[in-house]
Structure 1
Amino acid sequence: MTSLRIGTRGSPLALWQAKHVAAAIAKNGGPPTKLITIRTSGDRLSNASLSKIGGKRLFVKEIEEALVEDRIDLAVHSAKDLPSERLPGLSICAALPREDPRDAIVASQSNQLDVSQVTAISILGSSKSPLRIGTGSIRRTAQLKHAFPGINISSVRGNVGTRLRKLDDGNFDLLVLATAGLLRLNLANRITARIPSELCVPAPGQGIVVGEYRNNDAETDELLASIADPETTAALAAERALVTALGADCQVPLGAIATPSDDQLIVRGVVASPDGKTLINQEAHGSFADASNVGREVASLLLKHGAESILSAARSMAE
């Protein structure tokens, strides 16, 4: 291989991911890389709700097409943007160590909060007049409404920079965003508080960067294997197995997090009704080698405790 063509979306965060994967490959003695920016349907429809316009595949469709058509050799994605169903002939691999998977509260610059004195619970549970909170995630909305029934949440779309501008322009008092994206964009100073994963279980794959490649491309497979992080790989396998077993998609308020603990993987999953009134929470643990089975075990426990009725209702509401 004389060079590796890497396909990516053009947002600042997507470019950060692609550049860091390219750097990791170079550090391991890989070939020269070329970044190819591809605009996706999700980028063009940036103001619409994902669950209404076709789901997560809108953010990867054109990139995967370029991969299948051999216009690129490797696609770099945020794992949480990948649909649970893989396209035939394509494989994925966790490409970098996982960043902090938790969600974060970001206050507007005019909202003077002492970050050393506040926690996510103290902010969201404040008895003052309800703060206007923006998020693009029905998962966050459902879990936070369950924990704080009086909370005032509305939808916000766009990349991180666009959302922060809407916040600072006064459209919201707070945003809830992925901690990983803020850290990767050198925006740690905007984080007011990180939400404990026990309070709001992250999206499956949150904080994980993945490479996607053709099954018959042994060279790219070897390159990705050389930079893969074993713990992140196991966590991704468990979380995606859980999602697949539930048949879930972005229309469903679903959280999943696999946390390494010594030589074990603790997998936790949550399914909530969109209004937050009902929430089912289950966990299991097992070895790294058995990660996918542990994820499926948690899915089975969720279904056993009534998740199917929530999943069906959420899908019906989205139709």
Structure 2
Amino acid sequence: MRSLIVGTRKSQLAMTQTSWVVDRLKEVKPGLEVRMEKIVTKGDRILNVTLSKVGGKGLFVKEIEQALLDGRIDFAVHSMKDLPGEMPEGLVIGAIPRRENPRDVLLSRDGKMLAELPPGSVVGTSSLRRQAQILASRPDLRVEPVRGNLDTRIRKMREGQFDAIVLAAAGLYRMDWQSEICEELPINVMLPAVGQGALAIQCREDDHELLSLLAGINHEQTARAVRAERAFLVAFEGSCHMPLAAYAEVDGEEVHLTGLVAQPDGKEVIKKSMRGKDEWAVGKQLAKEMRELGAGQLLALSERS
């Protein structure tokens, strides 16, 4: 096997995730040589605007995908939730390793859980999906945008800019920072983002040697669940910055998928579940039925607001 170059964002979490993947590949192919190439994305550069207002899809992946297409790197490690539903022609997801904890978690300055936060408490999140579900559960709270890496967001909370923040559990577990967590938010309170907790190993579709290697770290149960979630996302032509959520679990031969679309203010939420054996069909059909319930109009309203 030739030596490889892997592309990654520069954050501590991104590099930790990438190192984890490289270690798994070296277990499959001892002696494998891999060099890490750090790439700055548009989402990393623009930190003074909320993600939903920056505009465009693939804010954290586009520059890395271009490096793949140009042949400057051989593969890339992304957080699956950062990948838009559609990807550039010529690129594929070569592997999806076993999923980390997919839930969202609450961190608070006083160790309080979501239900215990005093009315008017300020909760920080950069996600319209999280904002909508927080306000649906606690309309008496204030939700304000927070950007930056995990440590930056935690520091801002400790400095008093926020009473609490909501983050993905997976990042904290991968960084071994789970002691910061005050509450794991239940799935029925905070439905995760599409692909949350999973990693996407992306490469060129004609790199058969690399695809053969990546197959050794693919976790098919995770891949099936993520395919159902991404089929739901694609049906809405969505990005990870819409007030849209989906989470699937594999139960024997069937996939059980729950989808959610909401107004950013949490005043209207459409949520529905479906199960079936074909994960792509389940995702598309669930999206179709939710569109019939008005989900498309909700997303259109959120884009205009």
Give the TM-score normalised by structure 1.
0.92
Q: Is the Cα–Cα contact under 8 Å of residues 246 and 299 in structure 1 kept in the other structure?
A: yes
Deviations 1:141-196 (A, max 9, x none): 00111122212111100110110110111111111000000110110100000001
**What does residue 116 of structure 1 align with?**
none
Preserved contact between residue 56 and residue 81 of structure 1 (Cα < 8 Å): no
Q: Is the partner of 2:100 in helix, strand or coil?
A: coil
SS in 2 for 1:158: coil
Give the match for residue 136 of structure 1.
126
1:296 and 2:297 are equivalent in the alignment: no
Q: CA deviation at 1:127?
A: 7.2
Structure 2: gaps spanning 5 or more residues:
none
Separation in 1, partners of 2:61, 2:42? 8
Aligned pair in 2 of structure 1 residues 133, 5: CA closer, same or farther (>3 Å)? same
- Using the alignment, how far apart are the partners of 1:151 and 1:93 within structure 2? 42
1:38: which partner in 2? 39
Residue 56 of structure 1: how far off its partner (Å): 4.3
Alignment match, 1:66: 67
Q: TM-score, length-normalised on structure 2? A: 0.96
For the pair 1:176 / 2:160, whether they are aligned, the reply is: no
Secondary structure at the residue paired with 1:86? Answer: coil
SS of match in other structure, 2:139: coil
- SS of residue in 2 equivalent to 1:58: coil
Aligned to 1:164: 154
Conserved in 2, the CA contact under 8 Å of 1:105 and 1:192? yes
**Letter of the structure 1 residue corresponding to residue 222 of structure 2:** T
DSSP 3-state at the match of 2:59: helix
- CA 1:269 to 1:250, structure 2 compared with 1: closer, same or farther past 3 Å? same
SS at match of 2:271: strand
- Deviates further, 81-90 or 25-34: 25-34
The structure 2 residue matched to 1:249, chosen from 239, 246, 260, is 239
Residue 178 to residue 51, structure 1, CA distance change in 2 (3 Å):
same
- Where structure 1 has 5 or more consecutive residues not aligned to the other structure, the ranges are 114-122
Map 1:73-88 onto structure 2 (within 5 A).
73-88=74-89
> Once the two structures are superposed, what CA deviation does each residue of 1:189-219 show, in whole Å capped at 9, x if it has no partner?
0000000111111000100011111111111
* 2:119–2:140 contact (8 Å) kept in structure 1: no
Q: Which amino acid aligns with 1:26?
A: K
Give the residue type in structure 2 aligned to 1:301.
Answer: E
The structural deviation recorded for 1:295 is: 0.9
Paired residue for 1:95?
96
Task: Let me know the Cα RMSD of the aligned residues.
Answer: 1.4
Per-residue deviation, 1:251: 4.5
Q: Distance in 1 between matches of 2:41 and 2:237?
A: 24
Distance 1:250 1:112, change over 3 A: closer
